[in-house]
Amino acid sequence: MYPEELLVVRMNGENENLTQLSDSRRKFLKMISATGGIATLAGCSGGNGGNEAGGDSSGSEGNGAGGDSSDSEESRHGGTMTFALGGSPRNLSYWQSYDTITNNLTTQIWDGLLEFGEPDMELQPALASDWTAEDETTYVYELREGVTFHDGSEMTAEDVIASAELTRSDEAQSPLAWMFDSVESFTEVDEYTVEVSLSEPDAAFQFVPATTAWCIAPASAIDEMGTDLAQDPIGAGPFQLEEWNSGNYVEISRHEDYWDEDLPYLDGARFEIVPSGTARITGLQNGDYGGTNDIPIDQISAVENMGDVELYTATSFQTSFVVFNTTKEPFTNPDVRRALNYAVDTEGITQNTVGDFGTEATSMLPEDMAGHVTPDDLEYNGFPYDPEMAESMLDDAGYTGSPRFETTLLSPEDTVRQNPALIIQENLAQIDVNVNIRQVSTSEYVESFWGETDMSEREPMQMGLWASDFPSPDGILTPLFQSNQRPPGNNWFAYENEEVDEIINNFTTSLDEDERADLMKEANQIIVDEAPGIWLFHPDTTKAFNQSIEGYDGQVPAYVTYYTTFLRDMYMSD
């Protein structure tokens, strides 16, 4: 597990700046350093493991492949791996890469300016060799010279700016575009220097260059292909696309001119689409797959008992929840939403679904994260399980028939969401609310969740899973609850509250730690009490790898793995 004492220090924001700047002339912005997590991704195969590492070519801590340090760099080269993924990627773009399936692939193909190091989660150089926060609204990125794209062209400032502008464009329909909301302009200072001017301070912008929102593609390819790059990606990452057989597999091969010296070690990898969690675990046991992720909770003990497989679990700070489509009746009424919160046994769901591998949720922000709330902080006490209160509130709201009303809940097939959906259906039936579960494949679910922009076409209820994109609650409250973030953004609730919008704007622009923490909590209290969803639990993440692969240390919180080129540092052991 990730060192618990370090997590607490970072979450409580004890005057730590997560950005590591190697040049003494750099200026530091004093920011809140509350930590959040994104769903852990990688699964691998053929005798595999993984290291979600990053770092510069000098072999800094961000680039630490694990395993026996006596291995020579040369002896690590060669071999291929096969990963078992739970579904098909939406596409291979960086600007729409925002889910735990797609990011497995895109982070191998695309590199960004920075990356998250391990195990300290500090920002590390990647395609930018150096960066400076000149003042509260100005960032300067000095680019590596000689970086080669998969098409053989060299990266320059023009490419860096064009790549960010593509994510921001209407054409891209990017759910990550919100990360650039504070950007006023990009300036090409010279061929290898980019300056970013913000319209106002943005405490979280420092992390954006380490996300898939700002991976880099050739400007010439963007001009020629536009969003068609989603099917034929040209990045600067450690691997390039070899073959994509939609719905079956994706093969990638080593980028021979990769900027990071001798990396990657592997000749290539094959990602096989295996929707069934049971099939992934069976394949892992049989040696068909060298690794996998999203292990069904009821099979963890079986994986633990596999002699040649290592199981890794990590606190991810993600949240399992239910989305209410607040544009549809009866979910336009906050009292109906509150009633259903009282009717759902979140404690029972947590124990039944994740057991010791997670904790019950009170809000989207996990315990010890800045802005976290307890039942005592809330008007409705965090909605303890109380079916009688739920029935009384529905009576008062005018829903007294039998059934009171009927609705639909969208859920993918994975255990962490399908199991709660079934219990919710049972809980709501006890108060005479009929819930029809529309169960779809994980791939279809991802496309529906991120692809459907018309709220009238979205289901009244959806199972959701989310965590912060970077070490700040900005990565939760801003994209999910700001009113201007409706799809193609991530406010799937269509939640609107002018007071919350103002508070979010204030804590986004504030650089004072204590003020930001207070504002985060204030916004979170209002959101929970207005109940645009049901917050269920905070699950740990799980991964398993065959012991014949070196390079994975298993210590990184999940949000880091979401944006890392984990295959780059992995190698086959003797």
Local confidence band at 560 (pLDDT 50, 70, 90 cut-offs): low
Look at 5 and 194; give whichever has higher pLDDT: 194
Strands 268-273 and 80-85: parallel
* pLDDT above 60: residue 220: yes
* pLDDT above 50: residue 26: no
* pLDDT above 90: residue 467: no
Strands 533-539 and 549-550: unpaired
* pLDDT above 50: residue 224: yes
Mean pLDDT across 48-70: 34
* pLDDT above 50: residue 37: no
Assign 567 to helix, strand or coil.
Answer: helix
Where is average pLDDT lowest: 123-132, 218-227, 415-424? 415-424
List phi, psi (to 5°) of 254. -60, 135
- The segment with the largest mean pLDDT, out of 91-95, 261-265, 289-293, 471-475, is 91-95
What percentage of residues in the chain have a pLDDT greater than 90? Answer: 57
Where is average pLDDT lowest: 223-227, 350-354, 480-484? 350-354
Look at 449 and 95; give whichever has higher pLDDT: 95
Token pair listed for 252? 């990638």
* pLDDT above 70: residue 12: no
Locate CATH 3.10.105.10 in the chain: 318-539
Strands 461-467 and 405-412: parallel
Local confidence band at 550 (pLDDT 50, 70, 90 cut-offs): confident
CATH 3.10.105.10 fits 318-539, yes or no: yes
The pLDDT assigned to 51 comes to 29
Tens of pLDDT, residue by residue over 505-542, are: 999 999 888 999 999 999 999 999 999 999 999 988 77
pTM score, whole prediction: 0.80
Number of DSSP helices (H) and strands (E) in the chain, helices first: 15, 21
Where is average pLDDT lowest: 193-197, 261-265, 332-336, 522-526? 261-265
The pLDDT assigned to 559 comes to 55
The pLDDT assigned to 27 comes to 26
Q: Is the backbone of residue 152 left (phi > 0), alpha (psi -120 to 50) or beta? A: left
The pLDDT assigned to 100 comes to 77
* pLDDT above 50: residue 72: yes
Local confidence band at 209 (pLDDT 50, 70, 90 cut-offs): very high
* pLDDT above 70: residue 310: yes
Neighbour count for residue 329 (Cβ, 10 Å): 11
Assign 92 to helix, strand or coil.
Answer: coil
Burial classification of residue 131, based on how many CB atoms lie within 10 Å of its CB (0-12 exposed, 13-18 middle, 19 or more buried)? buried
* pLDDT above 90: residue 240: yes
Cβ-count burial 407-440 (b if 16+ within 10 Å, e if not): bebbbbbbbbbbbbbbbbbebbeebebebeeebe
Neighbour count for residue 30 (Cβ, 10 Å): 12
Count of residues in the chain: 574
Burial classification of residue 502, based on how many CB atoms lie within 10 Å of its CB (0-12 exposed, 13-18 middle, 19 or more buried)? exposed
The pLDDT assigned to 558 comes to 53
Locate CATH 3.40.190.10 in the chain: 4-313+540-572
Residues contacting residue 433 through CB under 8 Å, at least 6 positions apart? 340, 343, 394, 403, 404, 405, 406, 407
The pLDDT assigned to 284 comes to 87
User: What is d(CA 288, CA 264) in angstroms, rounded to the nearest whole number?
Assistant: 23
Burial classification of residue 57, based on how many CB atoms lie within 10 Å of its CB (0-12 exposed, 13-18 middle, 19 or more buried)? middle
Please give the CATH topology (third level) of the domain spanning 4-313+540-572. Answer: D-Maltodextrin-Binding Protein; domain 2 (3.40.190)
What percentage of residues in the chain have a pLDDT greater than 70? Answer: 84
Where is average pLDDT lowest: 99-108, 141-150, 245-254? 99-108
User: What is d(CA 430, CA 355) in angstroms, rounded to the nearest whole number?
Assistant: 24
Mean pLDDT across 253-281: 92
Strand partners, 138: 135, 197
Local confidence band at 326 (pLDDT 50, 70, 90 cut-offs): very high
* pLDDT above 60: residue 11: no
∠ Cα 321 397 336 (to 5°): 5
The pLDDT assigned to 153 comes to 97
Mean pLDDT across 309-322: 82
Look at 323 and 553; give whichever has higher pLDDT: 323
Q: Are 44 and 266 in contact (CB under 8 A)?
A: no
∠ Cα 90 96 100 (to 5°): 60
Look at 9 and 407; give whichever has higher pLDDT: 407
